[in-house]
Amino acid sequence: GLAMLELSKKILGPVCVGDTIHAQIEVTAIRPTSKSGRAVVTSQIDVYNQHAQCVMSYTATRLLAGRSQ
């Protein structure tokens, strides 16, 4: 990633020492920029604990570099 452009998060529950967490990530938007090989990418990330409870949810918009098509 080249830059974090925007971040919106909600903390929904505690995470304690010894917990196991995992994230589910969905890319919700990709917008190519005028500079070749770059895009603004928006993702929805949900973080779950070992009890399948969502403990954090956030949306991140980043400027990413990649291959030119």
pLDDT digits (tens, 9 = 90+) for 11-50: 999 999 999 999 999 999 999 999 888 999 999 999 999 9
Residue 1: what pLDDT?
A: 84
Residue 14: what pLDDT?
A: 96
Residue 20: what pLDDT?
A: 97
CB 7 within 8 Å of CB 57: no
Reduced to 3 states (helix: H, G, I; strand: E, B; else coil), residue 33 is coil
Spell out the residues 6+ positions from residue 13 whose beta carbon is closer than 8 angstroms to its own: 49, 53, 54, 55, 56
Residue 55: what pLDDT?
A: 98
Residue 69: what pLDDT?
A: 59
Picking from 10, 4, 41, the residue whose alpha carbon sits closest to that of residue 26 is 41
pTM, rounded to two decimals: 0.84
